[in-house]
Amino acid sequence: MEKVKQSKVKDDKIIKVVEKIKWARVKMLRDKEWKEVNSIMYKEGKVYVPKDKVLRVEIIRLYHNIPVGEYEGHWKTIELDTRNFWWLEVMKKVKRYIEEYNFY
């Protein structure tokens, strides 16, 4: 969580969406979809991971290399990653990571 908070990389698309929601003052939409708590953005209750390639790969690797996910294929890794984290194209990135770095 500290790495997410400290990341200096920003995703312009996400920033624009959040700014529009805040500007429109749509409380129900903002509270359900996007929320900021202690300098961390959440989308639908999941931590939004900034557009930081190193950080995203670290999160994917964390869940892929644990015994429960290691040999379950990309769907199990996606499930574990998306329980707590969200970013654009997360499933595509997990699949690509597994295809490129899977040697079993």
Q: Are residues 72 and 37 in the same domain?
A: no
93: left (phi over 0), alpha (psi -120 to 50) or beta: alpha
Q: How many domains does the chain have?
A: 2
Q: What digits encode the pLDDT tens for the residues 15-54?
A: 777 777 667 765 555 556 778 788 788 888 899 998 888 9
Q: Which two tokens stand for residue 65?
A: 């290399």
Q: Check whether residue 13 and residue 42 sit in a common domain.
A: yes
pLDDT at residue 69, rounded to an integer? 43
- Is the pLDDT at 10 greater than 80? The verdict is no
Domain that residue 86 falls in: 53-101
Same domain, 17 and 36: yes
Same domain, yes or no, for 62 and 34?
A: no
Same domain, 34 and 65: no
What is the secondary structure of 83-95 as a DSSP string?
Answer: HHEE-TTHHHHHH
The pTM score is 0.68
Same domain, 69 and 41: no
- How far is residue 12's CA from residue 6's CA, in Å, rounded to a whole number? 17
Give the SS3 label for residue 20: helix
